[in-house]
Structure 1
Amino acid sequence: MIVHLFVLFLCSKLVVLSGARLHGNENDRLALLALKEGLKQNPNGALSSWNNSNHVCDWEGVTCGRKHPERVIALNLSNHDLQGSISPFIEYNQLGGAIPVELGSTPKLELLALDNNNLTGVIPPSFGNLSTLMLFSCMYNNLQGSIPKELGKLPKLEFFQASANTLTGTIPQEIFNLSLMFYFSVGENKLHGILPQELGIKLPKLQVLYLPGNRFSGPVPPSLPNASSFEEIDLSNNKFSGKIPSELGRLQSLFNFRVTNNQLEASNADDWKFLDSLTNCSKLQVLLLGSRQLGGILPSSVTNLSTTLETLAISFSPLTGTIPSGIQRLVNLYDLRIPYCNLVGEIPDEIGKLASLQRLHLTGNKLTGQIPFSIGNLTLLNELYLFENYLEGPIPASIGELQQLRLLVLYGNRLNGSIPKEVFNLQYLSQQLDLANNLLEGPLPAEVGGLNNLMRFIVYGNMLSGQIPTTLGQCEVMEYFSLGNNLFQGTIPHTISNMKGLKTLDLSRNKLSGAIPPSFGNLTVLEQVDLSDNDLSGPVLESFGDLKHLFYLNLSYNKLRGEVPVRGVYGNSTEISLFGNKELCGGISELHLPACPTIKAIKKSKRSYLWLKVVIPITVSAALILALFALAYQKRKAKKESLNSHLEEQYPRVTYEELAKATEGFSSENLIGSGKYGSVYKGSLGDNQKMVAVKVFKLQERGASKSFLTECEALRSIRHRNLIKIITSCSSIDREGRDFKALIFEYMPNGSLDQWLHPADSELQQSNHLNLAQRLNIAIDIADALDYLHNSCQPPVVHCDLKPSNVLLDNDMAAHVGDFGLAKFLAEAVSKSLQDSSSSIAIKGTVGYVAPEYGAGGQVSTSGDVYSYGIMLLELLTGKRPTNDLFKDGMSLRKFVEAGDTSEQNMEIIDRTILSDVRGDEVTNNDIMKINECLVSVLNVGLACSDPSQRNRMNMTDAAAKMLAIRSIYLRA
């Protein structure tokens, strides 16, 4: 195997010994020549001095000893880009393949660094013979297997670094007996297990503990403060649970503490004592917290942390409370992140005193009030994220003072007023300006042309009006430009064709008029344009056919006329939408447009005109009614058929070939789920081999295309941490020329809730189970997602197919609701019901979870989802599907639970695996009572949500609040 050599030995006592029975300098010379022989490249003559004309001690990178000047003691060949492999007889390094076991017979080796190679195989257990070894480092390789327990026999080992490999298993207990260890790093592997609670006592000299990106679980060792020299502790991205030790303040040298993305818990002031303690760490620079169980009120003591603090991040935690007003005390803070918590109140004006701040991220909270004017004092700010809050009032003009700002994202608030001209004078604003889905009004200032370095500009979903400024043509590097869903009027300025980098253009749902500028044909990199729902008129322009990179064109519902071309983008019906333009004709047959009239037909039409003047007044009344219904139907159909493009407004497009490669040809080994309309495969996509889930639609099934379009519409307009995250989409043809449609989602490594509740075999059932706390968390996640769909989306979204197989679990067992193929926008569903009283009968769902009123022809409503949620809650605790064989002859899951609704009988209907991780000798009668109270409370919520009477059900907001309260009471107990 060819790899790059990056080897650096730092000790003055490194001894090289060969396997041959040679001694002294000759031994070392032969060993080094063997190394040179194995190298396939020697650029720039890096080893030209390694020859018989020079003494071995004069060779490049070689160091000989003082006490024994004839012996080689160190070798430094870093940064020479050497490539090749190493013979097993060179016992202190290895470039490619496995590390030779012969390396373990180098008794005087003290430092061994093998970093940044492509080493494979295992760490040899023979390394346990290196009795003088003080440092071992092999990070950034491809080593597998476990950490050898033999390393625990190295009494002098102080530094162990094996991060960024694929090591598995647990850390051998023998390692924790190496009392001289001061640096231990095994991050970014696949290790698991529980750390010994006495870790800080067994390794008293430990300064660095680096374990991120593994699968460690159990509590954080409370003895960590006993290792008083600790400088860095990184336990992030694991499965640690329980409380964070409360005496961390004893670590006076601590400057880096990271425990984000675990299952660590806090619900009251006592649980947050660790933060109070950390205020004693006068050197603290980085503090990263965040866990879905880290709740309670954010302590005001956070403002008393060391003034040396540079990074403070508390992410995705159910925190409450406000941003403490004393935040200005953290004078050196340059990175402040508290996204997706439940913070309320206003952003304190004092935040403008954090003069060193470079990133401010307060997204996804419940912050209210105005953006403080003082934010303009943060002159070093590079990134400002305040989206998805309840902020209101105008955008402060002081933002124009943030001349270092590269990214400004404020979408999803209630901001009003006009966009201040000062925003458009930010010369370094280059990544994104997103003001979408607010209440902004007034014209778009001509100063918008000052955004000549900006790549993405989005003001979709406001009330902006007036004409589109011609100065936009100055934004030549802009790739994504969205003014959709506003009140813009007038014509499209021809200067937009000067935006040479434009890939996506959305001017839809405005009041634009006139013709499309012919100069649009010069936008050769344009990938998507949406001009639908305007009053544009004029002929269809052939210049669009010249856009060789255009992959979607939506000109629906304008006043275009004339013959549709057949070349370029017009030649593929899946890449163009022309609905609602009544005077169009011709084009390819798939567009189903009328043929363009011949000259003879035109003359005949004129002769018929007088006769029609008599007929029209008689028939117009009846025809008008029919036409209105037909137009409404056609408009809804056209809207759905263009939805797959909307995902591509926000996400990059992938090809069929890329997906085939990612899933190994959609192999059965990668199949992770299948339904009526599609199959889901796992795969590795892109240069970084990101794990994704690819949902391939079975277009041969009736309704599959509609399901694809429906899911596109839902996913393009919803964002929530408990909804499945869309990465991109694909609408193409496969290798056999058949239509191919797929959606690509974030991969959920823990599968579906259905797989956990109903394991396929007994072996899985023994290893995979959900405890009560996990089930509560999942239930709350689902409730939060539905509450968002029902009450935070406009119009409200009804999922229509909620069931455990459509709830996916990520690496932290957080739940994400997916599969929006049957979703309905409430306004649309009600409108359709008024037109066709039988329309709702066709609602498809899953037997056992569908609300009873749907079967009787009732309208689609949010209460239908509430019913499905109630059934899921009952299934979550009983472990029984609503279609279980037990439920026949009038018995149902709901009646089954109602029949067991007493304290004594309740335990009999509960899934026994809920308590399988609780040892009997640890459970008191009081514990049993508290657990039973929790179970009864959840079952009551499930019964209230699944009430057969629609009007008697809870709404989703109340159900979510009730579940959150139940969990809080249970965790406190």
Structure 2
Amino acid sequence: MSLNLGRNNLINNIPPPIGNLSSLVSLSLHFNILEGSIPNELGHLMKLQYLQLSSNKLSGLIPPSIYNLSSIVGFSVGANQLYGNIPASLGLTLPNLKYLLLGGNAFTGSMPVSLPNASGLVAVDFGSSYFSGPLPENLGRLHDLRQLNIGNSTFGGGEGDNDLSFLTSLTNCSRLEYLDATANQLRGTLPDTIVNLSTHLTLLGLGGNPIYGSIPTDISNLFNLNSLGIFRSFVMGTIPIGVGKLQNLQGLYLYSNRLSGRIPSSIGNITGLVKLSLFGNRLHGRIPSSLGNCRHLEGLSLSANELNGTIPKEVLSIPSLIGLRIEDNFLVGSLPLEVGNMEQLQELHAANNKLMGEIPSELGNCLKLELLNLSNNFFQGAIPLGLKNLKSIKLLELSHNNLSGHIPVALEKFPILEYLDLSSNDLDGEVPQQGIFKNSSAFSVLGNKRLCGGIPQLQLPACLKKDSKKHGRSISLTVIFSVIGAVLGLILLSSIFVTLYRARRKASKNPLPASFLESKYLNVSYKDLFKATGEFSSDNLIGEGSYGSVYKGILDRDETLVAVKVLNLHQRGASRSFLAECEALRNIRHRNLVKIITACSSIDFKGDDFKALLFEYMPNGSLEKWLHPNVHGQYEMRSLNVIQRLDIAIDVASALEYLHHHCGTPVVHRDLKPSNVLLDNDMCAHVGDFGLARFLSNAASNTSQDQTSTTGIRGSVGYIPPGNNFMLFLCSLIFSSSFFNAFQIFLNMKLELSLLFIACGVANVVIVAIVRIHSKK
């Protein structure tokens, strides 16, 4: 007798009286919303062969009585909330098992050593759980095994480097079709014996493990493979030419390793390839034009390598391409006109190369394009009018090139454009004021010295109409006298500001209640971060501060590179710093603030409290490392030129101007220093670390309700970077809406320094004004 109630949205608990159906052979309750524990009474069904309880909300332990049902052939409880250990004797008490599916739960412990005694096993799933320890080396006794899934668990981590020895045992499983061991702690050298695995194998996943060695040259023996994944490991050597013989391959994932040499042109023989991901290696040479033979290719990622030469026209002629990532290489030449053939293209990333020439107008044919990043190249000429057809564009990055001409007014009409970066070019003329150009935090035109107009927040000069030279001189003289008059007035007003400053110091504190990030942010667990950072490995440590450490990590779900700030909760004030940073960052967004991805407040594997913040990863590190490089650091051979220093200062000032005047409740950072200024791929500065941030009342007159205290110096104890505060004051003075607003930025500084800052700032304003006037003559 069978009882099949699967996929019916059933709720509540499993009724214990089901255990009285003594003739029941099959019980299927999968894909419902059942909760509670599995009734012990199910262990009375002595004739039961198939028990299917997967994809519910069941919790608790599996009743021991079920392990005594020797008649069971199929046992599936995957995708629930069950926990506990699996008995070591399971293979002895359930000898007739063919299907054992336990994945997607919170089970712990090791895989039962007796499992091979159930010699008829066909499918075993221990994935997405917390199983640990070594894998039995006698799994090869399961001659009928077709599927083995242990991915996204914590297997391995034992002494020595022998965690991969089970692979050699599996060469005896001649019917094996599916082997997924990704994202574990399996350590060791990749054995050459993997080429002797079953020729029926369609999926081989070993990525996300500390695996060494090289890919065997005879990998072509596994000619039925659909997917090969050996990524985020330490695999070295070259990509074997034999990979091109895997004619059934649809996905090849070898990213984030230490592979070197050239990309084999033989990959072009895999005409059915859909995904090719080789980013984050040390590959060099040209991109093979033979990749153009892969007419079904949807995703091609070759970024962060050492590739050179031009972009093959054949690759840009693949009609099925959805995503193309070739950034962070040494590619030269122009962007071929064939780019317009990729009508399905949604993402094109070609930043940080040496591409030149004009941006092809044919890009406007890519009507589905959402992300276009051509920054940090040598493109020249005007922004093509053909881009006006990109109505699906969300992010457009054209910064740090040699583009000239006007900003196309058509950019105002992009309906869903979220961010536009045209900074550090040679654009001129008036900045539009509609569409995305209404929001100063959604676009950047910095570093284009000949622009004018735009919204007031840009503080660009007004666009002057052409007139006679005489009239121009009179305007210049008027401006000079106006500036001198303003200087005298500002000096007189400085004493008033000092009085206001002293009044603010007496204001009472009334700190805002801290709150965590809202639910719109990505949910991550301690386990996710544990894996993303390689168990918080010292190799991924990129910084340490007063309240914790920062690690580089890669999130499994979308291969996102992130910076993970882990709070040291034993340090006094760390929890308060965490709450302050969450509160400060949850409602602010600006191109010059470090973007927060999410926060994690959980417990670790030891049961201790765990708090962490996830930020967008900044490849160029902190400004501190560029200004004061370590002798053995990665920046010792690089330095900042004058333009870069000025750009960074302007970026920081823009961030402060936003925090003080455009984010609802004004925010005071209170710990601004070079180590808290981070640089992205474009050397664009982002202010981070809001652990000491405070909020100011919007009511300037109501100083008794001011929500921050300005008594004393806040920030790093004993630290005031020489010359740094003056530069920030100057930039904030130039970019703030009023002199008083600029002065507010430095309320945390010593009183006796304030007049000096004001005098120096005023002098610089005069100099800048005179230089600008003479440059226009």
TM-score range, shorter-chain basis?
0.5 to 0.7
- TM-score normalised over the length of structure 1: 0.53
Corresponding residue for residue 411 of structure 1: 303
Amino acid aligned to 2:234: N
Displacement of 1:164 in angstroms is: 0.7
Cα drift, residue 590 of structure 1:
4.4
The corresponding residue for 1:141 is 32
Q: Supply the distance in 2 between the matched residues of 1:400 and 1:318 (Cα, whole angstroms).
A: 33
Aligned to 1:606: 473
Q: How far does residue 121 in structure 1 lie from its aligned partner after superposition?
A: 0.8
In the alignment, the residues of structure 1 paired with residue 187 and residue 113 of structure 2 have an alpha-carbon distance, to the nearest angstrom, of: 20
Q: Any conservation in 2 of the 1:214–1:237 contact (CA below 8 Å)?
A: yes
Whether the 8 Å contact between 2:164 and 2:186 is mirrored in structure 1 is no
The one-character-per-residue Cα deviations of 1:452-473 (angstroms, maximum 9, x if unpaired) are 2211111011111111112222
* CA distance in 2 between partners of 1:137 and 1:715 (Å): 38
Cα distance between partner residues in 1 of 2:225 and 2:54: 29
C-alpha distance after superposition, 1:6-48 (max 9, x if no partner): xxxxxxxxxxxxxxxxxxxxxxxxxxxxxxxxxxxxxxxxxxx
**TM-score scaled to structure 2, two decimals?**
0.66
Deviations 1:898-956 (A, max 9, x none): xxxxxxxxxxxxxxxxxxxxxxxxxxxxxxxxxxxxxxxxxxxxxxxxxxxxxxxxxxx
Answer yes or no: is the 8 Å Cα contact 2:142–2:173 preserved in 1. yes
When the two structures are aligned, how many residues end up with a matched partner? 578
Give the conservation status (yes or no) of the 8 Å contact 1:487–1:510.
yes
Q: Which amino acid aligns with 1:417?
A: G
**What SS does the aligned partner of 2:36 have?**
coil
Q: Deviations over 1:536-574 (max 9, x none)?
A: 1122346xx2x4xx4xxxxxxxxxxxxxxxxxx42x444
1:681 counterpart letter in structure 2: L
Larger RCO: 1 or 2 (CA < 8 Å, sep 6+) = 2
Query: What is the root-mean-square deviation of aligned Cα atoms in Å?
Result: 4.6
Amino acid at match of 1:113: N
Q: Secondary structure at the match of 1:680?
A: coil
Is 1:319 equivalent to 2:155 in the alignment? no
**1:720 positional shift:** 4.1
Change (3 A) 1:177 1:441: same
* Corresponding residue of 1:379: 271
Is contact 2:554–2:561 with CA below 8 Å preserved after alignment? no
Aligned to 1:924: none
Partners of 1:312 and 1:824 in 2: how far apart?
Answer: 48
Deviations 1:355-413 (A, max 9, x none): 11010011111111111111111111000011111111111111111111111011111
Counterpart mapping for 1:828-867 below 5 A: 855=718
Amino acid at match of 2:223: V
- Partner amino acid, structure 2, of 1:606: R
Give, as a single letter, the amino acid of the residue that structure 1 aligns with 2:597: F
Q: Report the secondary structure of 1:488's partner residue.
A: strand
2:229 to 326, 337, 349: 337
Contact 2:134 2:163 survives alignment (8 Å) = yes
Matches within 5 A, 1:810-821: none
Provide the C-alpha distance between the structure 1 equivalents of 2:286 and 2:513, rounded to a whole number of angstroms.
Answer: 46
For 1:275, what is the secondary structure of its paired residue? helix
Residue 346 of structure 1 corresponds to 238
Identical pairs, percent: 39
Partner residue of 2:537?
none
Aligned twin of 2:546 = none
5 Å-filtered alignment, 1:304-703, equals 304-429=196-321, 431-541=322-432, 545=434, 547=435, 550=436, 569-570=437-438, 572-580=439-447, 589-592=456-459, 605-607=472-474, 679-681=515-517, 683=519
SS at match of 2:27: strand
Asked whether the 8 Å contact 1:462–1:485 carries over to 2, the reply is yes
d(CA) in 2 for partners of 1:796, 1:259? 47
Q: Aligned-pair distance for 1:681?
A: 3.4
- Whether the aligned pair in 2 keeps the contact of 1:796 and 1:827 (CA below 8 Å) is no
Alignment of 1:224-243 (within 5 A): 224-243=115-134
Alignment of 1:949-968 (within 5 A): none
| Contact 1:464/1:486 (<8 A) preserved | yes
Quote the Cα distance in structure 1 between the aligned partners of 2:443 and 2:276: 37
Whether the 8 Å contact between 2:526 and 2:604 is mirrored in structure 1 is: no
Quote the Cα distance in structure 1 between the aligned partners of 2:316 and 2:519: 42
Asked whether 1:745 is paired with 2:597, we answer yes
Change (3 A) 1:123 1:853: closer
The alignment status of 1:118 with 2:1, answered yes or no, reads: no
**1:302 is aligned to 2:194:** yes
| Structure 2 equivalent of residue 69 of structure 1 | none
Among residues 128, 132, 138, which one is paired with 1:247 in the alignment? 138
Alpha-carbon separation, structure 1, partners of 2:459 and 2:554: 29
Task: Tell me the equivalent position of 1:272.
Answer: 164
Distance 2:113 2:604 in 1: 34
Tell me how far apart the structure 2 counterparts of residues 468 and 234 of structure 1 sit (CA, whole Å).
50
Offset at residue 201 of structure 1 (A): 0.7
Which residue number in structure 1 is paired with residue 47 of structure 2? 156
> What amino acid does structure 2 have at the position aligned with 1:320?
Y
- CA deviation vs aligned residue, 1:106-153 (integer Å, no higher than 9, x gap): xxxx21111112211111111111101111111111111111111111
1:290 equivalenced with 2:182 (yes/no)? yes
Provide the C-alpha distance between the structure 1 equivalents of 2:83 and 2:355, rounded to a whole number of angstroms. Answer: 54
Superposed displacement of residue 855, structure 1: 4.0
CA deviation digits over 1:865-907, x for unaligned, max 9?
Answer: xxxxxxxxxxxxxxxxxxxxxxxxxxxxxxxxxxxxxxxxxxx
Distance in 1 (CA, whole Å) between partners of 2:216 and 2:519 is 44
Q: Deviations over 1:148-178 (max 9, x none)?
A: 1111111001100111111110111100000
C-alpha contact (below 8 Å) 1:587/1:593 kept by paired residues: yes
Q: 2 CA distance for matches of 1:209 and 1:296?
A: 27
2:493 alignment counterpart: none
Q: Structure 1: state its 5+ residue gaps.
A: 1-109, 551-568, 620-674, 694-710, 726-737, 761-777, 798-819, 831-838, 846-851, 861-973
CA contact (8 A) 2:517 2:599 kept: no
Amino acid at match of 2:356: S
Q: Which residue does 1:183 correspond to in 2?
A: 74
How big is the shift at 1:524?
3.7
Q: Distance in 2 between matches of 1:465 and 1:410?
A: 19
Q: Are the equivalent residues in 2 in contact too, given 1:260–1:315 (CA < 8 A)?
A: no
* SS class of match (1:249): helix
